[in-house]
Amino acid sequence: MRTDQEMATLAAIVRHGSLSAASRHLGLSVSVLADRLNNLESRLGVRLIARTTRRQSLTEAGRLYLAEMEPILTAIDALETRVRDLSSTPQGTLRISAPLPIGRRWIAPFVGEFIARYPDIRLQLVLEDRYVDIVGEGFDIAIRGGPAVESEFSGRLLVSTRRVIVASPGYVQAEGAPERPEDLAAHACLVFNGGGHFHADWRFGRGDDSRIVRVSSRLATTSSELPLTWAAAGLGLTQKSLWEVQDYLDDGRLVTVLDAFEPEPVSFFAIHPVSRTQSRLLSLFVGELTTFLRSRFAP
């Protein structure tokens, strides 16, 4: 048994809280993980995890070992990635996370083209409207919208896109169009909120006039795509990226409001652990994705 596999097993058990949870994440049986942990503890001659029928916790030796081994695992991963990248033919495996709308509309078609160009690359694309734990869940890259990149990650700007407020013509005719962002308090707002709340923070204006308005709603969802469906059905207003609503605007199903208060464009980044910055495969994927998106997004 390789020592780094035993180390990775210990890290997974601690990260996911139990042998069974780590087993589901790694796709290995509980007995295999238990054997790896037992082998590691036997070779070291100490108990690393104190286990009872109800809970488990790291021993003092376990805490020390975990803290010292994690940089080693990171270094091994980075080294193996760089050695694999010496091959003249791009190869390897990538696990990518992306939000549903941009994932379905843009990332998925790009992935299909990318895999066709590089037959020795395997790629798993996970589309979810949630903020994934990049390292803990084993992702190589996460596509995220927003201005900030955490210090332990590296990020590359992929593309920026306008955001607009839209509603159906029927809704505007019946309820009128808001003239200022503050008027939204009197309107039916359709919100996406990953935390399950009945509110969302919408940004308006640019530069010194930039501000955030918290809107509340009787209709909220954890799906980023549903507010657009609801808006087209005449149920209220929602704020979306222009590329998401362009087809609806073109055929008249939706109209924009509050155009004078349009916010700064929202940016999408490719985020990955700093340890993988030198990965040729990762750099290839992000570089080609950037070119693909920028050729298709309206400024």
DSSP string covering 233-253: TTS-BEEEEHHHHHHHHHTTS
pLDDT in tens, 55-73: 778 888 888 888 888 888 7
Kindly tell me the burial class for residue 288, based on how many C-beta atoms sit within 10 Å of its own C-beta (0-12, 13-18, 19 or more): middle
Q: Return the amino acid letter for 52.
A: T
CATH no. of 163-261: 3.40.190.10
Domain spans, the chain: 3-84, 93-158+268-294, 163-261
Please say whether the beta carbons of 244 and 231 come within 8 A.
no
Instruction: Kindly state the percentage of the chain with pLDDT values over 70.
Output: 91
pLDDT in tens, 148-199: 555 557 788 898 889 999 999 999 999 999 999 999 999 999 998 877 789 8
Q: Do domains 3-84 and 93-158+268-294 have the same CATH topology?
A: no
- For residues 225 and 190, what is the distance between their CA atoms, to the nearest angstrom? 11
pLDDT at residue 298 in the model = 56
Q: Give the β-pairing of 219-221 and 141-145.
A: unpaired
* Confidence class for position 130, pLDDT limits 50, 70, 90: confident
In CATH terms, 3-84 corresponds, of 1.25.40.80, 1.10.287.180, 1.10.10.10, 1.20.58.340, to 1.10.10.10
pLDDT at residue 170 in the model = 97
CATH topology (fold) of 93-158+268-294: D-Maltodextrin-Binding Protein; domain 2 (3.40.190)
- For residues 199 and 142, what is the distance between their CA atoms, to the nearest angstrom? 25
